Structure 1
Amino acid sequence: MTESQRVVSAAWLWDHLQDPQVVIADCRFSLTDPIWGQQQYQIGHLPGAYYLDLNRDLSGPLQRHGGRHPLPHPDTLSQTFTAMGLHSGDSPPPTLLVAYDDSKLAFAARLWWLAHYLGHPRVAVLDGGFTAWQRAGYSVTSQLPLWKSGRFIPQLRPDYVVDIATVKAHKELPGVALVDAREAVRYRGEQEPIDPIAGHIPGAVNYPWQEITDPHGYLRPLSEQQQRWAGLQAADEIIVYCGSGVTACVDLLSLAIAGISTGKLYAGSWSDWCSYQSPSGDS
């Protein structure tokens, strides 16, 4: 276990597969092929892992505003957690939820953040993801785990998330940093493969989420995580966004690992911001 239970290694998880206090979630997903993750899970997954789909489980229904991946209703996700056997209270002790994907934490970090948002601090991501597990030679299975009966009661943390009104009101304030987690070409407006408008929210600085991990999907060392955020360490509030509030969670995970607790998610992100703009960029 490393970084105060925020990250676990494949070796640690292998040793704790039979621990009743550990629940595993497979979060593999592809934005360009939404059924890919489910298909990969059916082919083979970590023993005992439950599959949580980005669109079905980790997002709520689409609306005119709110972005492409609105937050799921807390009660709905809590019911899923309960069926996975998660406990949120002290008796029995809180369950450790371990999330993994195969996309440099893009989707596992979303679950990591959501669990914290629902008030469950015992959640970690698998360093290196599914590939690291396979590389270590550990077994996978196609057998589906049985649903269980946990007891998960959400303790919502509304201070973890902001909406567009808060972004507009806070982004120019002293002590507030607005962070765009998308790749640099999207931040600069040179490419926009998804949303109708290219560019970024005025005043935002760019910290691409892909830089949190190395080319193999392993988290970069603690010293590098801390150095990455050194320029924002004194900020009173760090608001992070991406395209739809998913990969921004990788930056929020990095901030937490670096010991910075002022990060908040603009859940609707650029796709929500665009929904209030005309194609010309006018409000």
Structure 2
Amino acid sequence: MRYTTLISAAELAQHALDPDWVVIDCRHDLAMPDAGRLAFEAGHIPGAQFAHADRDLSGSKHDGQGRFRGRHPLPERTDFIETLRRWGVNNKSQVVAYDAHGGMFAARLWWLLRWVGHEAVAVLDGGLPAWTDSGMWLSAELRGKPYGDFIAKPALVGTVEVDALVKNLDSPTLTVVDARAPDRFRGENETIDPVGGHIPGATNRFFKNNLQENGHFKPAAQLREEWQAVIASPQSAVMQCGSGITACHNLLALEVAGLPGAALYPGSWSEWCADPARPIEK
């Protein structure tokens, strides 16, 4: 059986040390970039590897012409494939990503693996708290895996770049959904977003609205009902956030809901607002 969206702590516990399974710890703190690594070294799911959101799940902030691509642009495909191999990922691997933030960072790795054509990747539902609440133990042992031979396949996901969204302002055919907290979407949190507001015409679906109070994802039927009130068609929807990370949480929720097909705007608000010529709405 392949897991392609979510996996429970009990299901993971049955396979965590299986040689064909690769577990990736994606814990991160945007304000303290080394916090995730330190937490990983203090204790993690046995056999897990560590992914750094800035270094492993993101690429250079500027392109070859010096243009700003956002705070967490996509890594180069070749670089990301090399990272996967370093973690021990093969084409037959079942990958499981987890964090301690409701899937905020784990969903980014889930999306990236689908971006390079790997379908057998899932996010641990409830994250590390679900693991420990189930009585599972943590390990401080740093255990690597044999170097993988992963080979990329055609992407299972799509992206939309900034120029397409600029054109969409005049002839709207795409529904842009912003995953940031409502105060950031409205331009009321200048501590996080020095340039506040959102892309004109965008709607807001805070990524945490995908979760229950216990940090687990809402049931598929509930997610489907809620998302159908936000977008008419996934195929014409674009997910964005502050820098392209939490937007992946909304994309995972849509997949759980049985509403696949939405695209990611990787640069997101951090790229959009960097050019004063692009309009802003509050």
Tell me the equivalent position of 1:117. 115
Question: Per-residue CA shift, 1:29-67, capped at 9, x if unaligned?
Answer: 000111110000000000110000001100112224110
Of residues 124, 128, 146, the one that matches 1:126 is 124
- The verdict on how the C-alpha distance between 1:156 and 1:268 changes in structure 2, with shifts beyond 3 A counting, is farther
Q: By how many angstroms is 1:192 displaced?
A: 3.0
Write the mapping of 1:158-237 to structure 2, written as runs, cut at 5 A.
160-170=158-168, 173=171, 175-231=173-229, 232-234=231-233, 236-237=235-236
Would the aligned equivalents of 1:16 and 1:22 in 2 still touch at CA under 8 Å? yes
| 2:35 is equivalent to residue 32 of structure 1 | no
Q: By how many angstroms is 1:161 displaced?
A: 1.1
Bigger CA drift: 128-137 or 189-198? 189-198
Structure 2 unaligned residues grouped into runs of 5+: none
Write the mapping of 1:1-283 to structure 2, written as runs, cut at 5 A.
5-63=4-62, 64-88=67-91, 94-157=92-155, 160-170=158-168, 173=171, 175-231=173-229, 232-234=231-233, 236-277=235-276
Question: Per-residue CA shift, 1:174-215, capped at 9, x if unaligned?
Answer: 552111111111111122322331010001011110111123
Q: By how many angstroms is 1:265 displaced?
A: 0.6
Would the aligned equivalents of 1:104 and 1:218 in 2 still touch at CA under 8 Å? yes
In the aligned structure 1, how far is the partner of 2:152 from the partner of 2:17?
Answer: 26
Question: Per-residue CA shift, 1:137-166, capped at 9, x if unaligned?
Answer: 101101111231221112253961111001
Q: Which amino acid aligns with 1:36?
A: A
Q: By how many angstroms is 1:226 displaced?
A: 0.5
In the aligned structure 2, how far is the partner of 1:207 from the partner of 1:34?
Answer: 26
Tell me the equivalent position of 1:91. none
Runs of 4+ in 1 over 4 A off after TM superposition: 171-175, 278-282
Would the aligned equivalents of 1:69 and 1:246 in 2 still touch at CA under 8 Å? yes
Q: Which amino acid aligns with 1:80?
A: T
DSSP-derived class of the 1:217 partner: coil
Would the aligned equivalents of 1:238 and 1:263 in 2 still touch at CA under 8 Å? yes
CA RMSD of aligned residues (A): 2.1
- The verdict on how the C-alpha distance between 1:235 and 1:217 changes in structure 2, with shifts beyond 3 A counting, is closer
- The verdict on how the C-alpha distance between 1:172 and 1:215 changes in structure 2, with shifts beyond 3 A counting, is farther
Q: Which amino acid aligns with 2:159?
A: V
Q: Which amino acid aligns with 2:194?
A: P
Question: Per-residue CA shift, 1:213-271, capped at 9, x if unaligned?
Answer: 12321111111110111132435411110000000000000111111222111000000
Bigger CA drift: 23-32 or 214-223? 214-223
- The verdict on how the C-alpha distance between 1:49 and 1:235 changes in structure 2, with shifts beyond 3 A counting, is closer
DSSP-derived class of the 2:192 partner: coil
Bigger CA drift: 248-257 or 160-169? 160-169
Bigger CA drift: 78-87 or 187-196? 187-196
